[in-house]
Amino acid sequence: MKLNTDMQVTRISGEVWEIAPSEKAGMLVPARIYAVPEILESMDAGVFEQVTNVACLPGIRRYALCMPDGHWGYGFPIGGVAAFDVRSGVISPGGVGYDVNCGMRLIRTDLTLEEVRPQLGRLMTELFRRVPAGVGASGFVKLDRAALEQVMTGGARWCIEQGFGWHRDLECLEEQGCLMGADPSKVSDRAVSRGINQLGTLGSGNHYLEVQVASYDRVFDRDRAAAWGIHGRDQVVVMVHCGSRGFGHQVASDYLTVFEKAMRRYGISVKDQQLACAPFQSVEGQDYFAAMNCAANTAFANRQVITHQIRASFAAVFGKPAEALGMEVVYDVAHNIAKVERYPEGELVVHRKGATRALGPGSADLPLRYRATGQPVICGGSMQTGSYLLAGTEGAVRDTFASTMHGAGRTMSRTQAKRAIRGEQLQQQMQHQGIMVKAVSMSGLAEEAGFAYKNISDVVASVDRAGITKVVAELRPIGNIKG
């Protein structure tokens, strides 16, 4: 097997591959990659370089991990997971990402494809109108600084209190849609100015709002699916992928500058300046953690307001209240985050960048309705190939700090994708596939062509066979909104 690295990569088990610390000076732990052989062979050289760089960071525990959707990122590979001791370890914005709490939300409905297909054009137009998309888009929720600070500390709960959703929504959000420890005083004025008008907006890049169908023949675990409200009889669901937008980007930018100076003060050296970090217990580390939690909470709030607008759109088109349409949140989970979690080693700062939490059955951090099944894991594919719903496992808790993949993972840059196809061509192709697309930018649409991503089925097979997530259902797209 030919890999894009000169380092020795050893097969530990069917889908688990390891690079020993002897392969790079400074590695404190092995690096592990989860992938079937076809996926491993396709991984770019940056993945091997970056995951082994992460393995050199102070206080890292067990392994530096990369999921099968892994590809080159800023500092950490996208798809990277690493856990650091809260006393001796560090926190790194490169291990969280610029779009703090970029994440996924899935909303079920009682509607079927037969009911929705005749109204799909009207529905997509209504969704496109109510959920602003694209660079610089502003939302309908008008905030002053005091209100934005309440969003920073209250997250999705603030939205519920303002009438943007139902109280029972909170039960089905990671951490009930609010991370503790947020401190608005640690957020810059520049971050506030960038985020104050963006609540309820989709953004651009790979963010999307997608109307999907769960068909009976693509539901692989009927008991778990039923427990989550997915019956699969050509059932229509809605998936949302977005995060903290410009607010989170500015938080990351601000603290990367702070950490570059702090590393000299604390005598920390890194293999790559993009891994700029600070001791978690330091003033700088705690300040970033507090600001990052503010950004994460605005992302939970952002997806909550979008959910409110999705419900309003469906109600307007189908002439029934959202409750009568069965529009319940299945789950909402963060992708780009650092959280303090407890494992056998003690309290660890778990960084997930382009990776999803995947708690197994019995976890006290899950709502009662999901304790028997394990956590719903939402895996977004490309807009042409569909997405997956999976379940967290005890294996993930044991082996990967309760973490798994988050999506398909890119195989080519956005520039390469735009050279390969024009947005108008792609829109026509998708129309022939039965997928209606609304896009702010044809150039942005071309960037997200299906061929720019890995084979989602192979990526999902990697985590399923490794036992860190179990496949529950495949969801195919019929309508997509892109920034």
Helix (H) / strand (E) element for 476: namely strand 469-482
**Distance (Å, rounded) from C-alpha 62 to C-alpha 84?**
9
**Distance (Å, rounded) from C-alpha 113 to C-alpha 155?**
33
Please give, one letter per residue, the 3-state secondary structure of 221-241.
CHHHHHHCCCCCCCEEEEEEE
Q: Identify the active-site residue in 241, 249, 351, 406.
A: 406
**Distance (Å, rounded) from C-alpha 446 to C-alpha 439?**
10
Helices 283-318, 245-266: crossing angle, 10 deg rounding: 170
Residues in Cβ contact with 202 at an 8 Å cutoff, skipping those fewer than 6 apart: 131, 132, 133, 134, 137, 208, 209, 240, 242, 306, 481, 483
Active site annotation includes 167:
no
The one-character DSSP state at 338 is E
Sign of CA dihedral 118, 121, 125, 131: positive
**Distance (Å, rounded) from C-alpha 254 to C-alpha 183?**
15
Closest CA to 285 of 259, 247, 249, 248: 259
Which one-letter amino acid corresponds to residue 59?
G
**Adjacent-strand bridge partners of 214:** 235
CB distance 80 to 66 below 8 Å = yes
Closest CA to 23 of 43, 41, 44, 6: 6
Tokens encoding 386: 């569909």
Q: List own/partner pairs for 420-428 with CB under 8 A and 24 or more apart.
A: 420/446, 420/449, 420/451, 420/452, 421/446, 421/449, 421/451, 422/446
The one-character DSSP state at 203 is -
**Distance (Å, rounded) from C-alpha 248 to C-alpha 50?**
23
**Distance (Å, rounded) from C-alpha 129 to C-alpha 201?**
11
Residue with tokens 């217990």: 281
Sign of CA dihedral 2, 457, 450, 208: negative
Residues with catalytic roles: 406
